[in-house]
Amino acid sequence: MKKALVIFTLLFVSTIGFSQEIKSYTWDIKPTFKNIPEEYKNQPAVVLFDKRWVHTRIGGYSFASFTMNHCAIKINKAEEINNYNKIKAEDNGFIRDTRDFHARIIKPNGEIKVLPQEKIVKKEIDKVQSIVFEGVEAGDIIEYYFILKENPSAYGVEVFQREIPVLYAEFSSTNSGVYFEKFASNEFKSSINDGKSISYAENIPPFVEEKNAKNLKNLVKLIYMISVTNAPDNLNWSNFLPLYFKKPSFAYFKKNQAREFIEKLNVTSGTIDEKVTKIDAYIKENFDFVWKGEKAKKISNLGDGKQKLTANDIFELYGFTFKELKIPYKVVVGMSRFDGDISNYKFVAPLTHEFMYYIPDTKKFVSPYEKYLAYGFPMYELQGSSGIFYDPSKAIGIEGMQFPIAPADFTVISTQNKVVLSEDLSTASIEKIYSTQGYEGQLIRNSVNYLKSNEEEKELLDFLKNRTLSDIDAKISKYTFENQEFKNNHTNTPFIVNLNVNLNESISENAGNLLLVNIGKVIGKQTNLYQETERKFDVDIAYAKTYKHKIIFTIPEGYEVESFKDLVFDKKMTGKEGQECSFVSTVKTEENQLIVEVNEVYGNITYTVDSYSEYRNIINAAADFAKGNVVLKQKK
């Protein structure tokens, strides 16, 4: 008994100690800072340290969270002062009280100028306090710290990486009646100091924003989750998935209505593949989500035309239908590879997770929440990443899995362009057939159908121009669609747009007695990597894909082809079979026509830094082709 009393007393003293310690936190009278490495001395500014501390207490009469932020930044260049001299005392939007807020300027000679409290401004609406550092010069260090009292939050995301280097980053957590769980970038190390849990990282480089990179995933950050001590961990996958997905349940209709719906579907015969295809097609075509701001309504008849349901009820309707028809299925959880890696043991609340179904017999996925996506491959953001399987038919049905990657011949973008110059040979008219399959086709089919159903003609024309005539000043005089219905997604039937286009800009110019015609431009704008010679992160594209372009150019009467060498390319990079990357174009003349064919393939979704130079050559080849001319000369 005495031993228990001693332990309780020590715990109580420790809890009070941490609570008082964070509330009475202050800076050093004469601070010392780490030396700035040579590699960072030319940076516009450097974060000398960024320390954050969260103390949460729950239980009895205690219900509060205290946060402390303490930061020092050295300004190296005067033009950067305005980017760092404005500080707000805010953390996660649940501020009840600013307990302390101090700011000071440290001159290169060591002189310290503390900013007076009257310089702190408090907003009337949200009560957030802020300060502007005045009198800052190049070479100065601005230092500040603030302490906030907030309502406890179940989780938080602390991003430490900035556009300038951070020499030292620290996140500390203390608690009473709660448990902290942290998920930190690999740069962090951990330690315990007098009961305080500390995660720290050193020399965090400036963040580099690169195109086609997992930029959010690559950020140096720390995620924490808070749970009440001794409470069941319902976010653990082994608890979370059975809790929510063991048995389908509905809020706005009843099981007998769902059974009537299944009976009307008439899917008792056929293969599992045929059944799931029919189920997916009907639900995607006839049900829409109750969007934000709309009110869900009770459903009396699920088979009564097009209706709106909550996203959860739509998801559960799939599961109930599979279960009633005895179609084996698993619930699958994944996370966008651009955001991060899924935890293999629990649901990490601050991160966005994607839920879907997997049909083991066909090895295909059903994505109820993705209205554009047909039964088949998973969302493109999940390709190649890890996920979690849950089999509701088994007592222990949790296992890890890997999402497949769709091949380049699944997503194909094809164009056929018949180009005829105007009588004065300056502009041109184009008959274009734009055809898309796979992920690209499903996305565009969904967007076009949405715009058409809402009668948004201008938005539809803008969408078509952006997709089919990017970077070309042109007017679409006529357009028609083929294979618009959602059912075409299941067979990967191309979505086709037929266009008649008149150019508003010239694509030709005279060079002496020669006429240069920029027919490469008609395939649309091509990105380039001329300036980006170095790469820090791997290249991660949305999906493997193939471009096929055909240009049929009518040679003007009285002219013949002098040269088409600007349009001929043969650029390839090495890779495993099925993962090639290439840009190949061929040109030939037939009677009064110049025929150009382009085959551009991106067979993988990730290209490593080591292969970047080869990848860059392919991208630049496409950009060079778009600037390519056919050279014409007058016949003698």
Q: What is the CATH number of the domain that holds 244?
A: 3.10.620
What is the reported pLDDT for 276? 97
Q: Do 198 and 344 have their domain in common?
A: no
Q: Tokens 């110019």 identify what position?
A: 509
What is the reported pLDDT for 17? 57
Residue 50 neighbours by CB under 8 Å, 6+ apart: 70, 71, 160, 166, 168, 169, 170
Residue 287 lies in a domain: yes
Residue 195 lies in a domain: yes
Residue 38 neighbours by CB under 8 Å, 6+ apart: none
Q: Do 244 and 142 have their domain in common?
A: no
Residue 233 lies in a domain: no
Domain count, the chain: 3
Residue 258 lies in a domain: yes
Question: pLDDT digit string (tens) for 456-481?
Answer: 889 999 999 888 888 788 899 999 99
Tell me the three state secondary structure of residue 452. helix
What is the reported pLDDT for 125? 66
What is the reported pLDDT for 9? 33
Instruction: Name the residue range of residue 533's domain.
Output: 412-634
Taking alpha carbons only, the member of 483, 513, 510 closest to residue 498 is 483
Q: Do 425 and 376 have their domain in common?
A: no
What is the reported pLDDT for 580? 82
Q: Could you tell me the pLDDT band of residue 93, with boundaries at 50, 70 and 90? A: low
Assign residue 622 a region (left: φ > 0; alpha: ψ between -120 and 50; beta: otherwise): alpha
| Percent of residues, the chain, with pLDDT higher than 70 | 95
Question: In the predicted model, is pLDDT for residue 15 greater than 60?
Answer: no
What is the reported pLDDT for 4? 39
Q: Do 15 and 63 have their domain in common?
A: yes
The answer to whether residues 223 and 206 touch, using CB atoms and an 8 Å cutoff, is no
Token couple for 625: 């082709």
What is the reported pLDDT for 230? 82
Question: pLDDT digit string (tens) for 41-80?
Answer: 999 999 999 999 999 988 876 788 999 999 999 999 999 9
Q: Could you tell me the pLDDT band of residue 92, with boundaries at 50, 70 and 90? A: low
Q: Do 312 and 421 have their domain in common?
A: no
Q: What is the CATH number of the domain that holds 121?
A: 2.60.40.3140
Least confident of 49-53, 413-417, 450-454: 450-454
Dump the DSSP string for 451-466.
HHHTT-HHHHHHHHHH
| Final residue in a domain of this structure, among 209, 228, 247 | 228
Residue 407 lies in a domain: no
- Residues 523, 416: Cα–Cα separation, whole Å: 9
Q: Tokens 């028609």 identify what position?
A: 480
What is the reported pLDDT for 607? 93
Question: In the predicted model, is pLDDT for residue 123 greater than 80?
Answer: no
The CA R_g of the chain, rounded to the nearest whole Å, is 31
| Final residue in a domain of this structure, among 402, 436, 459 | 402
Task: Give the helix/strand (H/E) hosting 515.
Answer: strand 514-517
The answer to whether residues 97 and 164 touch, using CB atoms and an 8 Å cutoff, is no
Least confident of 57-71, 133-147, 325-339, 539-553: 57-71
Residue predicted with more confidence, 5 or 486: 486
| Final residue in a domain of this structure, among 374, 402, 430 | 402
Token couple for 247: 């048995």
The answer to whether residues 479 and 460 touch, using CB atoms and an 8 Å cutoff, is no
Residue 269 neighbours by CB under 8 Å, 6+ apart: none
Q: What is the CATH number of the domain that holds 560?
A: 2.60.120.1130
Least confident of 91-105, 330-344, 356-370, 557-571: 91-105
Question: In the predicted model, is pLDDT for residue 271 greater than 60?
Answer: yes
- Residues 216, 351: Cα–Cα separation, whole Å: 11
Q: Do 379 and 433 have their domain in common?
A: no
Q: Do 419 and 389 have their domain in common?
A: no
Average pLDDT over residues 587-598: 96
Task: Give the helix/strand (H/E) hosting 285.
Answer: helix 272-286
Question: In the predicted model, is pLDDT for residue 5 greater than 50?
Answer: no
Q: In terms of DSSP bridges, do strands 412-421 and 196-204 run parallel, antiparallel, or are they unpaired?
A: unpaired
Task: Give the helix/strand (H/E) hosting 511.
Answer: strand 508-511
What is the reported pLDDT for 293? 84
First to last CA, the chain: 114
Question: In the predicted model, is pLDDT for residue 18 greater than 90?
Answer: no
Q: Tokens 């618009």 identify what position?
A: 484
- Write down the mean pLDDT value for the chain: 91
Give me the half-sphere count of Cα atoms (radius 13 Å) on the Cβ side of residue 314.
27
Least confident of 118-132, 399-413, 621-635: 118-132
Q: Do 392 and 313 have their domain in common?
A: yes
Residue 472 neighbours by CB under 8 Å, 6+ apart: 503, 505, 521, 522, 524, 525
Q: Do 299 and 356 have their domain in common?
A: yes
- Residues 48, 68: Cα–Cα separation, whole Å: 17
Residue 247 lies in a domain: yes
Q: Do 38 and 61 have their domain in common?
A: yes
Phi and psi at residue 571, to the nearest 5°: -110, 125
**Residue 463 CA to its chain's centroid (Å):** 21
Question: In the predicted model, is pLDDT for residue 91 greater than 50?
Answer: yes
Q: Could you tell me the pLDDT band of residue 292, with boundaries at 50, 70 and 90? A: confident
Q: Do 256 and 203 have their domain in common?
A: no
Q: Do 416 and 388 have their domain in common?
A: no
